[in-house]
Structure formats: structure tokens, C-alpha cells
Chains A and B, each alone.
Chain A
Amino acid sequence: MQRYVIKRLLIAVPTIIGITLAAFILMYILPGDPVAILMGDVLDMRTMEMLREQLGLNDPLYVQYYRFISNALRRDFGKSYQTKRLVNDIISSALAYTGKLTLAAYIISIVVGIPAGVFAAVKHNSWGDTGTMVLSMLGICLPPFVVALLLLYVFAFRLAWFPLGGTGSFAHMILPAVTLGIRPAAMLARITRSGMLEVLRQDYVRTARAKGLSQRVVLTRHALKNCLIPVITVMGGQIGGLLSGSVVVESIFSWPGIGKVSVEAILARDFPVVQAVVLLSALVVVGINLLVDLSYAFVDPRIRYE
């Protein structure tokens, strides 16, 4: 187990370096000069030259990459071209907000999705099953911006139960978290349902029933636990998706998270911010994949890592 973890961590190093290098090169290949964007529609050549020199953009590419990597190892990502704020401050504040929202959405998706899937499987081929599946299909198909605007219009504008975007209280978080949680909840419901249907036909479930165990115990202890592997895989993948997929939701709800920060940084060719976001995303995705793989062993004792 330990050796496996160490091996995986070692593989992660070249993966992450590769990702940052690719992102670095990509940003420079893309048309668009960060200094020209900074200046807007007032272009003064002398000002541009001064800014390029000050920002270190006149150095050769390999010098810039080396500077980025060596500073990154000291957890120093420099300052944003656009705002002159420390990238560390920008990212940590945005990440805290995205983290909160992602966690809330994640909880919603689990609390709604898994029970819905179990319910649909147990009531297989009933109206309850069909209804749940139709709703889950809608949840998957509806684009987040439509859901966001609908929720805002109904619950914040018409009914005025929630604020019209922004941050500050628990109430501010509910609508964006629901918007963000709907799609993963729908996906979890469908996967749980198909897994459960499969497991419910197994002999050991029939045995458990024959022993006279209650429906609740049969479902949770014998059936659900055995269909969790695909569910966990999906849940792991969704964290990455939630972190990056929240751009639209963050924009509509004025939520100061990482999605909005990264899109603005890319559009403005704000290299220091983009680089830090890329590195961070790479770390998160690699880390979560490792955690997902390790969690299989806990759910299914037959899985061993040598």
C-alpha cells in the first residue's frame, strides 16, 4: 500500500511539470499581448515598453519558465498583471469561496442523488421510478446558466426568499449550491439506480431477505455498499468538474470563486494568475484521483494495492 502511494506520487511529479509547461507554452502561443490588453484602447509605445520591462516579459521564454518554477517551489507566484495583487492572495481567497460552494453542492448531490437512485431501483418500473428518471434526465440536460437564471428569477426576484447574488450570509450560498449540485445529483441518481438494480438481483440479497432482515438493512448494508465502486468513481470525477464547472454559476451569482478568476485571467492573458490556477488544478485533480483509487480498497476489501 505504502509503496503504491509512493509510486503514484512519483508519477505525479512529471505529470504536473508537463501540465504547467504545456500551459505556459500555450499562453505564449495564443495571440494577445498582456500589456496591450492592460492598456485598453490607449496604446502608448513607451508605456508598453516600460511595462514589459517591469513585468519581465522581455526575457526569453525559458528564463520566464525557470523563474516561474523556481518561485513556485517557494510558493511565490508573483503579482497579477491586471490588479498587482499577490497571486497567492487572489487564489487563496477565490479558492476558499469555491471550496465552500463545491462542498455544499457536493453534499446536496449526495444527499439527493443516492437516495433518489435507491428509491428508483427499489420501485423499479413504477411511476416513482419513471418520475425520478425523468427528473434526473432534466437535471443532466438543463444547462447550469438556465437553472441559475430560473432559480434566481423565481426564488430571489419573484418570491424574494433569497438575495439576488452576492456573498455574506448562508442564504447567499443556497441558490448557487443548488444550481451546481443539480447535475451531479442527477448523475449520481442514475448510476446508483443501475448499480442497485444489478445488485438487488444477486443471490446474497435474496439470502439476506430470506434471513428476515428488514428492508432498510438489506438495502444499506447488503445492496448499497456493493454498488458503491462506480458511484465513488463518479463522485471523485465530479469534484474536478465542480471546481472547474462553476464558472457560469459563479458569474451569475457574483460568487468570487476560482472559476471566475481563471476565466478573467485567461481573457486578460494575466500569465501569473493563469499559471498558478493551472498548477493548482493539476495538483487537485492528481490528488483526488489518488484518493479515489485508494478509497476503493476501503469499500471493497478484495481490492489490494501492491
Chain B
Amino acid sequence: MLRRKLFLVVVSVLLIGLFTLGAQAQTPKYGGTFDYALDRDVGSIDPHSAHSVQRINVGLMMFDQLFTFDTTGQVVPNLVESYEISPDGLVYTFHLRKGVKFHTGREMTAQDVKFSFERLSDPRTQALGYAELNSVLGKQEFSNGEAAEITGIRVIDDYTVEIELVAPDATFTRKLAKVYTSIVGYEGIGENMEFITPVGTGPFKYVEYVPNQHLILERNPDYWQEGLPYLDQVVVHMNVDPSVQLMRYQSGQLLYMEIASPVQKLTLEADPRLRDEIVAMPGPSVQVLTMNANFPPFDKKEVRHAINWAINRERLAYNVVGGMGEPAYAPFPEDITKRIGLPEWYGYDVEKAKALLAEAGYPDGFKTELVVVANEIQRLASEGVQADLAEIGIEVEVRVVESATYTAMMNEGRVPFGNMNVGSQMSDPDEVFMDFLHSSRTPGLNRAAYKNPEFDALVEKARQTVDDQERFELYRQAAEIMMEDSPWAVLYYLKSVAAVKPELKGIEIMPTRPSLRITKAWIDR
């Protein structure tokens, strides 16, 4: 176990080195086109509605945010040069970078920050990121039409903006790193706040978007990070079937391809020339089984514990899902688990699981149904779980449902036993515990209908604790309570897997959404 971990750490360090230092060791070359194939259409290129990882990654190419994420999921200043937080944690003063230009050539100022944040919070925008600034003073009044502006956002001068919150918000700077809170130029926004054209300050400028076909971007020569980007052009190809992406990658038409299925990964691994081009980095999610205590036999804690002990996570992650996962023993995505430093809960112990089942009054097991969304990895994982639970006498019938139906069933809290992907956009424990486990989120994302006032109180307190060390301690305590209650059986961390041709250098894969940054990417040809 320890040796394997050590090995993984070494490999990760090497890989990160490969992608960051590797790019610096050689002198980057300018020029070239980055072809990015998506299996669907981005649908919209309005960053304030960028909810899917595809939209977010594309949004990051054209737009900047006040903060941004690095490859380890840490938040770092971006359009902000420096900032101060008042001792009570309520007032943030941001000093903006000077000389940042929109793609129209106009300089970005504090007014643009205020404009962007008010557009995001205006119901007419119908932005999916509408809730991002809920903690800002005066946001509710503005959104309800009771105020003409968000009073908590104050422009001090061209390069200074002050934002006042209603209550301390530990993830506020992280929220300002999401593509949802991108700074947009008013030139691209209509009278009724509708999105007309992308006007950002990002590394690439918008050229053309033909829905369902392609999006073309070109190098922004006035980009504020000097000398960047290296690439001349980005072409995002929409609706490219994964099997066709694979052929395009094999024939060299694509230098980069996201791998979403174990079959694709195995196909590449089978080819000795392509095997070494596969990159697996910590991803932004963890896969779990939800066990809703409102339904027997999941009302018995021993049953939930038994299921936790019965799962062979190593087999699941390395074999069943073809190495797309990493065994998980804590309730967060991989990078968060490492950052807060959590212990490991529940190993693989069939005898213990059997004993717990007998203790709960089910010595011969029981029959149950596991609800899974129609997705290859999740279906495979569910079959793995089915096999593991059969060992302790639990007969599982896997029920695969289409995604909209799955979402409806799960959100209504109607599913006793389900398979769920717990994703974090900004790599923060708050998102996971607050959105997926707080009792106020039922019905909603708290699909196990978990309810423990002690847990709720810790999570609420953590949200208002700005000091990270103190905050992480609260999460460690909350995790202890939650893992003992076991509303979930944590299965594996989902990896961000991609294939990258050796001539493509400097791309950054992040454990957040956005998951891909190409600002420093270049092609060695």
C-alpha cells in the first residue's frame, strides 16, 4: 500500500515536471494550431453560463477571471495583482493589474469588474452562474430588482475594486477563479444583458463559432502575460464521436485527446507506439455509492458499514474501470483529500462485512437495486460493486437509467441505493460537504438524504472560517462524523485521462473545472 502510494507520488511529480518544467527546459516555438475535439457542441460560449467542463475549458481560452487555478488546484491571483482582506473577513480590496486589454483594444478597469458581476447576477442574463456572488452584500436586492446596483461592489478607482460580503465566505477567491465569474467587456453584451459576442481579456480572441461544427480562436497579440500564448490558432471541433477522435489522434490530426472511456484507454494502451502518450492526472471528482437511510435495509448503520468493508477498491479502480480511477478512502476528490490531509477509512475485509451484516439482522444478505446513470465507467463500476457485494450475500440488480431520468430520481431522494459522481469545480471541500451532504440540500444534491446536525454545524462553521488551517481541521472533524455515519461508500477518484502527442508541450491539466489550460502550450515542430 505504502509502496504503491510512494510510487504514485513519484510518478505524479515526474508527470507534473514533464508538463511544466519540461516546457521550460526547451525554448518554446511560436505558431501552430491546437485542435481540440469535443464529443458534443459547447452549446453556448457565454462564460457566465459555462457549466459543463467543455464550456468551461473553452471559456478559459477567451476570458480571464480575477483569480485562477494552478495544476495542483490551488487558487492564485490572475487579473488581480494583489489583494487585502479586512480582519473580520468581510471586505476584500482587489488591486487590478494595469494595462490588461480586452480583445477590442480597450483597457480593462474596475468598472468592468462591477459590470461583469452585475450582469452575472441579473436575472435577465439567465446565467447558470447566477448564484456565485450570493455572499456579496446587496446581491439579493439587485437580483430581485430592488436595487439598481450591487451596493457591496464598490469601484474605488480604475484599478481598485472593493467587495463587501454579508458573511465571511472561505471560498470567495475560489469563486472568483471560476469561469462563471469571468470579466467580460460590455461591447459583447446586449441591452438586455444578452450575450452577443465574446469580448474577453484571455489569451485567445474569438474568430468564429458555427454551432455544432466548430469554434475558431486566434492568438491575442496584446495578451497581458508577455510573450504568451505561443499558439497562433485554436480550432474546437464539435460533436466528434469518441471513436472518430481516436482515429484522428492515431493519424496525428489531433495532438491532444481527452479519454472518457476505459475502452478508448485500452485501445491506446494496446498500441506500443501510443502507450506512453497516455497521461492520467488527479481529476475533479470522486465516485461514490449513496445509501439513503430513509429506506430499509440502509437505515441500519451496520449495513452501510458492511457495504463499505465489502468493496475491493483496488480491483475496482485498477481493473474494473481500466485504470481510469485511483482507489478512494476519503469523501473528497483526490487533490482535496491530499490538501486537507485525511486518514483512510474502510479497507477491504469480507469477513468483517459479513459479520456486520449478520449483526444488522441480515445473515443471508438481501436483494437490492443499484441505480446508475447511462455512462460507461459508472456502469462498469456498478458491475464491479455487484460482484463484490455478492461475496457477502447482497444480491444487487444494476439499473441503468438515462441521464435526465437519473437526475430527477436522485434529486428527489427516491433512490435507496445509487451510484453518483461527486464533482468539485473549484477544488474545495466546501463544495462537496455543503452541496452534496448538508441536510438543506435534500431534495437536491444530497441524494443520500444525509442528516446529522453536528455535521451540518461543522460545515456551516467551516464556510465562514477564512483561515485555511482552522477550516481544514473542521472538515477533518466533519469527515470523521460523516464516514462513521456512512451515507456514502466511497469508491474511487476519477482520473483526468488524456492522450498527448510528444510534440505538444506545455499544456496544463488541472484537478478543477477548468481542467485544461493552453496558454503556455506550444508545438515542437
Contact = CB atoms under 8 A, between A and B. Distances in A.
B211 A153 contact: no
A100 B492 CA distance: 46
Contacts of A85: 211
Main secondary structure of the interface of B (DSSP, over half): loop
Contacts of B445: 41, 43
- Name, among B238, B244, B251, the residue most crowded by chain A CB atoms within 10 Å (CB to CB): B244
Nearest to B43: A83
B404 interface: yes
A267 B404 contact: yes
B213 interface: yes
A268 B195 CA distance: 21
Interface in A64-95: 82-85, 90, 93-94
B356 to A, nearest CB: 31
A84 B127 CA distance: 11
Interface string A164-204: 11110000000000000000000000000000000000000
A38 B127 CA distance: 10
A149 interface: yes
A253 to B, nearest CB: 8
A45 B445 CA distance: 11
A47 B128 contact: yes
Contacts of A212: none
Contacts of B237: 166, 254
A40 B404 contact: no
Contacts of A268: 404
A249 to B, nearest CB: 11
Nearest to B55: A40
Interface in B402-427: 402-405, 407-409, 411, 421, 423, 425
A119 B40 CA distance: 44
Contacts of A251: 239, 241
A82 B445 CA distance: 21
Counting chain B residues whose Cβ lies within 8 A of the other chain, the interface size class is 35 or more
Contact of A157 (B131, B250, B409): B250
Interface in B178-201: 194-195
B240 A254 contact: yes
B315 to A, nearest CB: 27
A94 B210 CA distance: 11
A165 B240 contact: yes
Contact of A43 (B46, B49, B130, B444): B444
Nearest to B241: A252
Interface of B: 40-41, 43-44, 46, 49, 51-52, 123-124, 126, 128, 130-131, 134, 143, 194-195, 211-213, 237-241, 243-244, 247-248, 250-251, 253, 402-405, 407-409, 411, 421, 423, 425, 435, 441, 444-445
